[in-house]
Amino acid sequence: MKYRRLGNSGLKISEIGLGSWLTYGGTVQDAVAESCIDKAYELGVNFFDTANVYRRGEAEVVVGKALKKYARESYVLATKAFWPMGDGPNDRGLSRKHIFEQVHASLRRLDVEYIDLWQCHRYDPETPLEETLRAIDDLITQGKILYAGVSEWSAVNIREALHIAEVKNLDRIISNQPQYSMLQRYIEKDVLPLCKREGIGQVVWSPLAQGVLTGKYKKGEPFPAGSRATDDETRRLMGRLLKDENLDKVERLSRIAQEKDCTIAQLALAWVLREPNVASVIIGASRPDQVEENVKAIDVELTADDIDRIEQILQG
C-alpha cells in the first residue's frame, strides 16, 4: 500500500480507502462486510469511511465491530453527519446541538473513544458557519474528534470556512469529500484549484462511478446478477451514470486497460490518483475480491501519453 498526507495535515491515509454506503449494515451480509474490511486491512488499507446516516447507523456498527480486533492506532476512521436522523427540527444539519449529539452517537455505534476524521456531510445554509466551526473546534479540544473535513462543499463554502477559522482562531478543516471519477469531474473547475492552494486534501467518493467504471455494465446487455444496478432503489441513486454514452466510453477505455495489463477499475482508480491533491479514493466493495482487484490500482503507472489518450476518450 502507498500512503499520502491528507492535505497539509500530518495524517497519512492509504491511497485506497474503503467506504460503507449502500453496502455494509444492509445489502451486504455482515459476515461478508467483515471479510471485505479484513481483506482491505490485510492489504494495507488504513482509511475507512462511513456516516451516521448510512442505514441509520447500522453501517457504523458493522464497520466499528469489524475494526475492533485491530489496534486503534493502526486505522483512520472517518464518519460524518448532516442528513436527517429523525423527524425533529434538530435531527439534521450542522447546528452545535446536532453535531454534538451525532458525534456522541457515532462514537457509541463505532465503539471507539475518538473519531479520526469527522466530516460535515453537506453544507448547511440554516446554521451560521461560525457555530459549526466552533462546535468542531470544541470537539477537537475534547479529543472526541481529531480532524475535521467537509463533503461536497462548494469552493465558496470552503473559502468562507477557512476565512472564519483564520480570523476566529478556530481549527481548520483538512479535507473535502467530493464525488470524482472519469465520469464526474465538476470539482476540477473551482474546488480542486482552491483546495490545492489551501492544502485541503480530497478523499474521493464513487471513484468507480458506482461500478460503471469496472466495465461490468454493457450497452444493451442485462445488468450482472447481484450488481448495484439490479436493485431499483440503488439503481435510482446511480442516476445518469449508466447512460449509453458512458458505457461507450468505458468500452473504449477497456482497450487502454488491456494494453496496460490492468483492469478498467484499476485504470479508473489510477486516473483519479494521478491528481496529487487526492489523498485517497474511497471505493465501495460488496465482495472481498473487489477489494483485492481495486487495491492493485496503486501499482498502475499512467504516462503522460496514457493520460492524453484517456482524455480524448472522456471528451468523447
- Subset of 145-184 contacting ligand NDP (CB under 6 A): 151-152, 177
Rule CB under 6 A: is residue 210 a binding residue for ligand NDP? Answer: yes
Q: Is 123 in the site for ligand NDP (CB under 6 A)?
A: no
C-alpha closest to that of 275 among 172, 214, 204: 204
Would you say 190 and 221 are in contact if contact means Cβ atoms under 8 Å apart? no
Distance of closest approach, residue 184 Cβ to ligand NDP, in angstroms:
10
Helix spans in 142-287 (H): 155-167, 191-198, 232-238, 244-259, 264-273
* Cα separation, 280 vs 37, whole angstroms: 16
Closest separation between CB of residue 39 and ligand NDP, Å? Answer: 12
Segment near ligand NDP (CB under 6 A); pick from 105-113, 137-145, 202-210, 306-314: 202-210
Instruction: Copy the grid coordinates of residue 141.
Output: 479540544
Residue choice 49, 60, 124, 306 for contact with ligand NDP (CB under 6 A) = 49
| Residue nearer to ligand NDP on the CB measure, 202 or 290 | 290
Residue 169: CB minimum distance to ligand NDP, A: 28
Residue 201 binds ligand NDP, judged by CB under 6 A: no
Cβ within 8 Å of residue 120, ≥6 positions away:
80, 81, 82, 94, 132, 148, 149, 150, 151, 153
Task: Report yes or no: 18 and 43 within 8 Å, Cβ to Cβ.
Answer: no
Q: Which of 54, 123, 147, 217 is catalytic?
A: 54
Active site residue 114: no
297 conformational bin, left if phi > 0, alpha if psi -120 to 50, beta if neither = alpha
Task: Give the Cα separation of 216 and 242 in Å (integer).
Answer: 11
Give the residue, chosen from 56, 216, 260, 296, that forms a contact with ligand NDP under the rule CB under 6 A. 216
The catalytic residue positions are: 54
Residues that bind ligand NDP (CB under 6 A): 19-21, 23, 49, 121, 151-152, 177, 205-211, 214, 216, 227-228, 265, 282-286, 290, 293-294
